[in-house]
Structure 1
Amino acid sequence: MPIWPSAPSPILDRARQLHREETGVESTQVADCPGTWLVMGEHVDYAGGITLVAQVSQRVAVAFSPRRDDLIKVTTQSTTLEGTGTTTEEISLGAIEERATNQRLVDHQCGLVAERLGGIVWTMIHRQLLSRDTSGMDVTVVNDIPADAGLGAIASTEAAFALALLGSAEDCDEAPLRARLAEVCAQAAEAFSPAPALRSRYTAALRGTAGQVAVINYADGSVTQAPHPASAGMRVFAVIGPEADVDQTSAIQGRRRFLDAACRAFGTESLRLLPDAPTRVLDWLRAVHKVHGAEGQPTLDQAASWLTFDQEETGRAEQLSRSLRSRRVEDLWSLMAESQAGLESYGLNAQPDLVKLILVRGAAGARAAVAGMSAAVIAGVDKRHAGNFSADLSADGFTLVDLGIGSPAQVG
């Protein structure tokens, strides 16, 4: 049965041991971080909306030690259904500096993970969190988070690495430093990744509470907590679909460019802070079409549907946070259904056929894990039926990941 395997031993211990085997020295510091389940609102993260994110039990650990040169050398051991696989990548801090200066993105010959972690070092240096004399590093990553499940494995790796780099700080467990680290990770991801960054993942992984859902409101920057639905007799699974690669990066980035342009036009950080935003933004876009033409701009109908989705999804996320706090977990499933329909109307690949199959197999609710960026679907199932559910989907050939309940990033 293709059920994602549970961790064979504590992940921090495995990271220390692998680092010792690969480099011959003890790690300077090690930290681990949970994967994240995007409960709702991930596509309004950038629009200043409300995003709900839960930690999952699958984790990634990162160990590092300094080098004498300026190389960031990353060894990654990843759990798979067949066992473990190991890869090695490297990039120099000089190359990272050049790419940041010239705004050139990932060169896959050097490796995605090495560049992303090098970007963390570069950003922390420029945010005065690390010394400008910082040298290269040997970095060891042990990853139990499935790559195709929409659980943010690379974001968790970045958060764990950033935390490990400051793991000796006395205030590494305090909210102000963790908030700053989340900002650093999001900023580095924007600069060093071609994929759209979800800043809420870093916030939930670093600042969340064990057994809770992080409610991140970008209107005021608040981070609060709500009860996890798994505490109410439910189990939550990620069901990995048959499509190995779902990439609508350009479509998502197009929506973000439109939001950026509208915010600049009205001098606001977020359209959510702009009174009567949909009407005013559409009037502005109509004027842009008239003066500059429609080339490179969304149509009025497209823009209207995007703005409507942003408002409605933020409203659903706000309603869900209230329902979870009131222990009305049953509201989650109807809101998930509304959100799933909204994602499909939003024009992203929300895996509608897999969602329908999962509901037929007995799930109480289902929703795309990250529409447009993953083929996985998140399913909530009554604990009494979870065994039959997982057996049926496994027989259908899908891979299931029992998400469990996670805990925030920690220094080992």
Structure 2
Amino acid sequence: MELSWSAALSAEEGRELAAQLFEETFGYQPQDVWSAPGRVNVIGEHVDYNGGPCLPIALPHRAFIAYAPREDRLLRLVSPQTREAVDELDLDRIAPRGCEGEVSGWAAYLSGVAWALEKSGYGPLHGFDAALYSCVPRGGGLSSSAALECAMAVAIDEAEGLGLAGSVSEPNDAGRTILVECARMAENQIAGANTGGLDQTASLRCLSGHALALDCRDMSVEHIPFDLESQGLALLVIDTRAAHSLADGQYGQRRADCEEAARQLGVEQLVDVEDLEAATQALSEERLIKRMRHVVSEIARTRALIELLKEGPLEGDRLKVVGALMNDSHDSLRDDYEVSCLELDVAVEAARAAGAYGARMTGGGFGGSAIALVDRERLEETAQAVAQAYSERGLDAPAFIVAVPSAPAGKL
């Protein structure tokens, strides 16, 4: 069976394609091209907005933005899908979702960053022309929207001389934390998706060759070496091709359930729950118990996996435990948090049956992607097994990515 692999563009290819689209659309050359990666979360799902720890890596797949400032406040935005109808927005009239001046579609993610920077005191900004070319799979739960926001953030930062991001080789982590918050504001208020800051943090603050241990209580980070290839392993990403959206209400409902559970338990966030059994008895509804149980147990799993990575290479019992933690994470997301779906479950079950050490859904759920930790020599075999399981169930064929920890947002 022929497999579909989603290849990443090289830095040179991405820069050239974005710059070419810019020049064809606007008739002049951009000032430069900036880019930002999508991400995959190794473990720690739906705990970011509960103050817990997450463990993302940046993907080699990036969103590239060719950019040039203007002398006025006009924003002109184009992508390969919209080259026949360029989005034009007035920076003075952009407003949050539900207000006069709200922005629809993909343009909300880009224009929202400029809006958020100004709201955070970094302005007034110039208008700009921008051309987007992205190879981050859309709808795959791999933070394609955060990649747009973060590419836009580092472009504005450098072009406007804000001095927040630093460079890819010498990032300014404190400044990037500010850009994370602006990108999150854009997604929450302009695009209308009530996400936490995990995706933007991964895109702006990950390092090549490392996983990012992110404490979402205070947004502090620790960079942990994550070189699976040297250990004969690989992280296979399975894009289920099932429709995925965080702005359709389901994500917001899960977040509201967690906030209500925390309120009933008298804690600020669910990360503060210390006694799972006592918390279970204190909650009033089975739905809230299940949501809380996932979050509290996922926090424990994530902390355990981070410590295992710090101890040494993934081999022997350490590798087995990491796989078991990944498996338990998916089962909890499926049964207690109820964010999985048929396509995700089939992918996970097929990967496990093919010998994966661990497999789980990743991202917000309701579609999107799954990941499997496998022996590198069995990468193709595992992908074939997943594709065959999809075919047998009459599902559309999935696509595959090999996740290699990559560079953060900036100019490559």
Q: TM-score range by the shorter chain?
A: 0.7 to 0.9
Matches within 5 A, 1:347-366: 347-350=338-341, 351-366=344-359
Task: Report the residue type matching 2:402 in the other structure.
Answer: D
8 Å CA contact 2:76, 2:89 repeated in 1: yes
Q: Which residue of the partner structure matches residue 5 of structure 2?
A: 3
Q: Does 1:307 align with 2:292?
A: yes
1:411 lines up with 2:411 in the alignment: yes
Residues 303-357 of structure 1 deviation map (CA, whole Å, 9 limit, x = unaligned): 1111111110000000010111112531321111000111012221252222112
Instruction: Give a deviation string over 1:56-98, Cα, whole Å, max 9, x none.
Output: 11111112223455432221237xxxxx99874343324413x
In 1, Cα distance between the equivalents of 2:56 and 2:106? 23
Residue 157 (structure 1) aligned to one of 128, 135, 148:
148
What corresponds to 1:326 in structure 2? Answer: 311
Matched, 1:378 2:371: yes
Instruction: Give the corresponding residue for 1:181.
Output: 179
Letter in 2 for 1:43: H
Q: 2:394 maps to which residue?
A: none
Cα offset, 1:219, TM superposition: 3.1
* 1:117–1:281 CA distance, 2 compared to 1 (3 A): farther
Partners of 1:313 and 1:170 in 2: CA distance: 37
Worse-superposed segment, 368-377 or 387-396: 387-396
> Can you list the C-alpha shifts for 1:93-114, whole angstroms capped at 9, x where unaligned?
24413x46x5579654xxx221
Q: Does the aligned pair in 2 maintain the 1:149–1:238 contact within 8 Å? A: no
Q: Hey, what does 2:49 align to over in structure 1?
A: 46
Correspondence 1:11-410 to 2 at 5 A: 11-77=14-80, 88-97=86-95, 99=96, 103=99, 108=104, 112-129=105-122, 131-132=123-124, 134-167=125-158, 168-170=161-163, 172-173=165-166, 174-228=172-226, 230-231=228-229, 232-245=231-244, 249-261=248-260, 269-273=268-272, 279=278, 283=282, 286=284, 300-329=285-314, 330=319, 331-345=321-335, 346-350=337-341, 351-394=344-387, 396=391, 397-410=397-410
- 1:35–1:151: 8 Å Cα contact kept in structure 2? yes
Tell me how far 1:54 sits from its aligned partner: 0.6
String of CA shifts for 1:363-388, please: whole Å, max 9, x gaps: 33211122534332112221111233
Partner of 1:294: none
Q: What displacement does 1:145 show?
A: 1.0
Q: What TM-score, normalized to structure 1?
A: 0.83
Change (3 A) 1:89 1:364: farther
1:219 and 1:273 in contact (8 A); partners too: no
Letter of the aligned partner of 1:360 in structure 2?
A: A
Q: Distance in 2 between matches of 1:203 and 1:236?
A: 21
Q: Secondary structure of the equivalent of 2:5?
A: coil
The amino acid that maps onto 1:405 is: P
Q: How many residues were matched structurally?
A: 386
TM-score (norm 2): 0.83
Flag structure 2 segments of 5+ consecutive residues without an equivalent.
167-171, 392-396
User: 3-state DSSP class of the match of 1:46?
Assistant: helix
Q: Does the CA contact (< 8 Å) of 2:72 and 2:127 recur in 1?
A: yes
Query: What is the rounded CA distance, in whole Å, between the counterparts of 2:78 and 2:18 in structure 1?
Result: 10
CA contact (8 A) 1:45 1:51 kept: yes
Q: Bigger shift: 147-156 or 168-177?
A: 168-177
Cα RMSD (Å) of the superposition? Answer: 3.0
- 1:302 shift after superposition: 1.3
Aligned to 1:292: none
- In structure 2, give the amino acid aligned to 1:240: D
What is the CA-CA distance between 1:237 and the residue it aligns to? 2.1
Q: Separation in 2 of the partners of 1:106 and 1:191?
A: 9
| Inter-partner Cα distance in structure 1 for 2:69 and 2:164 | 22
What is the alpha-carbon distance in structure 1 between the residues aligned to residue 48 and residue 324 of structure 2?
A: 21
Change (3 A) 1:31 1:247: closer
* 8 Å Cα contact 2:241-2:398 kept in structure 1: yes
How far off is 1:401 after superposition?
Answer: 1.7
Unpaired runs of 5+ residues, structure 1, are 79-83, 287-299
Question: 2:169 is matched with which residue?
Answer: none
Change beyond 3 A, Cα 1:264–1:342: closer
Deviations 1:234-267 (Å, cap 9, x if unpaired)? 1222212253346684233123224335656788
